[in-house]
């Protein structure tokens, strides 16, 4: 049973929480980063500014400056450190879509032992890059996103806490409402801890590289220490746990540059071996269910339904991204590796036809020949793939919430 533990979070004081907390650095262009830091002196981005401002300097020097910036923030009147706590975070989007989760610490030994399960491969270079960052700065500014099978008791425990005054509440530039509740009552902490620790396993929804980097950092740091207490922060990483019923999973779609030398007629004929196909003309649509793959080619939409005999691989056949690769991309279009083939591009979906229109626009621009759009992967399928020890194809899902940087910080070294 995986451990779930409260911690002493470091947070911006309530008055500046909305100015300090920010989207992940990966969400910004360089121009946007420079503009944001020029306009907002209170942003968390000010702490990690050397990341891009001194990109050509020695990485160790750059990271040392980030560590110093963070310590200056901790010592300032702009920050506060809580008593041992769990936290509830809720995101409310402009369309009133909501998602909430509990923030705490998970034990990296549980991840190593397979009690925190993954569904995605990690890239060694990215893991080493973030592990080196942690070795120098010693703090986590955003949590790994984990999911668990829905539990009504946990819902009720959260609802009781959410009736209290939020520790932070603010609306961002995109009209998203972010709210954070602190839980410090000992009885309530124990009830939440006990409820989570009844699970045999938790599942990584988003943040595979962050989790793997945390393990690398932990093992390295412990090897440098004479004695390590089992309660030492180095053994843990910060995580936000969201029920698989509340997790928001959007489609991730594909655009392709060419038909691999086939005529349009030859390509459509090849598809019919594995799919029942219906032409939909110019009518934009969203797939109705799993195994219904949408296609846009030469100004027309097509609805493809996977034939039952094509569903031959246990587990992976539940994933439309896998079926697309194995039945179309590899055998017909000769795209053998979607991670590094420049003939394929990826378009983030929206869970409705707005994302399909974005894909349509890319194809109509002439840069791409056709597009495929998919029904979103179900959270239960994500868990099933992880339970089987399998891995999803790259960019199978776009998962929300995307935790904010700086809303809550876990310090690894006092």
354-398 residue pLDDT tens? 999 999 999 999 999 999 999 999 999 999 999 999 999 989 999
**Same domain, yes or no: 233 and 355:** no
Burial state string for 389-399 with b = 16 or more CB within 10 A and e = fewer than 16: eebbbbbbbbb
Between 198 and 230, name the one with better pLDDT. Answer: 198
Across all residues in the chain, what is the average pLDDT?
95
Residue 313 domain-assigned (yes or no): yes
Tens digit of each residue's pLDDT (9 = 90 or more) over 331-356: 999 999 998 899 999 999 999 999 99
- Given this model, what pLDDT does residue 367 score? 97
The boundaries of the domain holding residue 353 are 252-375
The CATH number of the domain holding residue 344 is 3.30.1760
**Same domain, yes or no: 344 and 256:** yes
Residue 386 domain-assigned (yes or no): no
What is the residue-wise DSSP string for 266-311? HHHHHHTTTEEEEEEET------STTEEEEEETTEEEEEEE-GGG-
Tens digit of each residue's pLDDT (9 = 90 or more) over 5-43: 999 999 999 999 999 999 999 889 999 999 999 999 999
**Same domain, yes or no: 242 and 341:** no
- Would you place residue 85 in the very low, low, confident or very high pLDDT band (cuts 50, 70, 90)? very high
Backbone φ and ψ of 266, nearest 5°: -65, -40
Please state, for a pLDDT cut of 90, what percent of the chain lies above it.
90
Q: Is the pLDDT of residue 149 over 80?
A: yes
Residue 382 domain-assigned (yes or no): no
**Same domain, yes or no: 266 and 306:** yes
- Given this model, what pLDDT does residue 339 score? 86
Residue 395 domain-assigned (yes or no): no
**Same domain, yes or no: 68 and 175:** yes
How many separate domains does the chain show?
Answer: 2
- Given this model, what pLDDT does residue 14 score? 96
**Same domain, yes or no: 244 and 258:** no
Q: Is the pLDDT of residue 414 over 80?
A: no
Residue 111 domain-assigned (yes or no): yes
- Given this model, what pLDDT does residue 310 score? 87
Residue 66 domain-assigned (yes or no): yes
**Same domain, yes or no: 171 and 301:** no
Angle of helix 152-162 versus helix 186-196 axis, rounded to 10? 150
Global pTM reads 0.93
- Given this model, what pLDDT does residue 228 score? 84
**Same domain, yes or no: 234 and 277:** no
Tens digit of each residue's pLDDT (9 = 90 or more) over 245-254: 999 999 999 9
- Given this model, what pLDDT does residue 409 score? 98
- Would you place residue 222 in the very low, low, confident or very high pLDDT band (cuts 50, 70, 90)? very high
Please state, for a pLDDT cut of 70, what percent of the chain lies above it.
100
**Same domain, yes or no: 189 and 284:** no
Residue 384 domain-assigned (yes or no): no
Q: Is the pLDDT of residue 286 over 90?
A: yes
**Same domain, yes or no: 222 and 309:** no
CA–CA dist 393, 119 (Å, integer): 9
**Same domain, yes or no: 259 and 235:** no
- Given this model, what pLDDT does residue 413 score? 85
Looking at residues 240-263, what average pLDDT do you find?
97
**Same domain, yes or no: 289 and 197:** no
Closest C-alpha to 42, from 66, 77, 7? 77
- Would you place residue 230 in the very low, low, confident or very high pLDDT band (cuts 50, 70, 90)? confident
Cβ contact 295:287 at 8 Å: no
Tens digit of each residue's pLDDT (9 = 90 or more) over 86-140: 999 999 999 999 999 999 999 999 999 999 999 999 989 999 999 999 999 999 9
Residue 381 domain-assigned (yes or no): no
């Amino acid at each position: 049973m995986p451990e779930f533990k409260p911690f002493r979070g470091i947070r911006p004081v309530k008055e500046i929480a909305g100015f300090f907390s920010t989207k992940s650095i990966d969400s910004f262009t360089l121009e946007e980063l420079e503009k944001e830091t020029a306009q907002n002196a209170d942003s968390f981005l000010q702490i990690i500014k050397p990341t891009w401002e001194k990109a050509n300097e020695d990485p160790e020097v750059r990271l040392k400056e980030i560590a110093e910036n963070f310590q200056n923030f901790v010592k300032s009147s702009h920050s506060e450190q809580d008593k041992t706590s769990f936290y509830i975070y809720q995101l409310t989007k402009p369309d009133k879509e909501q998602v909430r989760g509990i923030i705490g610490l998970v034990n990296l030994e549980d991840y190593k032992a397979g009690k925190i399960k993954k569904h995605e491969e990690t890239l060694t270079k990215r893991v080493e890059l973030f592990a080196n960052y942690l070795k120098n700065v010693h703090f986590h500014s955003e949590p790994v996103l984990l999911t668990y099978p829905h539990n009504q008791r946990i819902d009720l425990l959260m609802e009781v806490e959410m009736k209290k005054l939020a520790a932070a509440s603010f609306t961002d530039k995109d009209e998203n409402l972010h709210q954070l509740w602190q839980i410090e009552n000992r009885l309530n902490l124990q009830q939440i801890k006990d409820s989570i620790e009844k699970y045999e396993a938790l599942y990584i929804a988003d943040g595979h590289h962050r989790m793997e980097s945390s393990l690398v950092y932990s093992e390295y740091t412990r090897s440098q220490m004479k004695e390590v207490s089992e309660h030492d922060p180095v053994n843990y990483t910060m995580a936000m746990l969201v029920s698989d019923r509340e997790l928001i999973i959007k489609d991730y779609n594909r655009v392709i540059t060419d038909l691999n030398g086939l005529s349009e007629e030859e390509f459509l004929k090849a598809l019919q071996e594995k799919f029942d196909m219906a032409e939909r003309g110019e009518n934009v649509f969203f797939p109705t269910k799993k195994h219904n793959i949408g296609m846009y080619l030469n100004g027309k939409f097509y609805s493809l339904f996977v034939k039952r005999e094509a569903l031959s691989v246990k587990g992976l056949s539940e994933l439309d991204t896998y079926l697309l690769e194995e039945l179309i991309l590899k055998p017909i279009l000769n795209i053998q590796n979607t991670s590094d083939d420049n003939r394929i591009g990826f378009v983030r979906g929206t869970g409705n036809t707005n994302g399909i229109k974005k894909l349509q626009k890319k194809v109509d621009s002439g840069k791409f020949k056709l597009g495929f759009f998919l029904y979103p992967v179900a959270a239960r399928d994500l868990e099933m793939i992880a339970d089987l020890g399998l891995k999803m194809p790259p960019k199978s899902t776009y998962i929300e919430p995307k935790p904010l940087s700086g809303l809550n910080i876990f310090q690894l070294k006092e």
